[in-house]
Amino acid sequence: MAGFLPKKKQDFHKIPNAKVAIVAAMWHPQFVDAMVDRAIAEMVDAGVNRDNISVHTLPGSLELPLAANMLFESDPELSAVMAFGVVLQGATTHDASVLQTVVEGFGQVSLKHNKPIINEVIGVTSLDDAAARSDDSESNKGLEAVFALTELLHWQDSLAKG
């Protein structure tokens, strides 16, 4: 794992005006749901109104960039999208192509709408890896996603203020 976050969670920026959509893949729901639940709890701690957080479950990780694009197009007030999925390495290279396609898709959508997409679609070599990234510790990718979200939205707000 990458290690610890550069900030303690009590030092995360508050983002009370944020409106965030979460897109989540259906595969490996025990891990994906744990990351989503942690992200929601951490966003609420960062001041986001629970009513301004929506969760959308899609068949798999490949569908998440399309979903993000559709969400940005349907709601101009949306501040950001967070994405969660688990892609398990297998005997073929399918996992690598899925991850590459997802990353490229998120990049295109983010630039098209000029809004952040926090990508926590994780590639793992075992389900133990997924469990370690979705447990109750600071290694949970939901916490990491909220760190990135609060930093980006705070920075974006500072640009707007000049």
Q: Which helix (H) or strand (E) holds 104?
A: helix 94-113
Q: Which of 28, 56, 94, 113 is catalytic?
A: 94
User: What is the DSSP pairing of strand 53-58 with strand 20-25?
Assistant: parallel
Active-site residue 94, yes or no?
yes
List Cα–Cα distances, 16 to 23, 56, 85, 106, 110, in angstroms.
20, 21, 26, 25, 22
* Residue whose tokens read 């709408």: 113
Distance CA 127, CA 55 (A): 23
**CA dist., res. 120 & res. 139, Å (int):** 12
Q: Contact at 8 Å (CB) between 77 and 52? A: no
Please give the Cα distance from 76 to 79 (Å, whole number).
8
Q: Which residues are catalytic?
A: 94
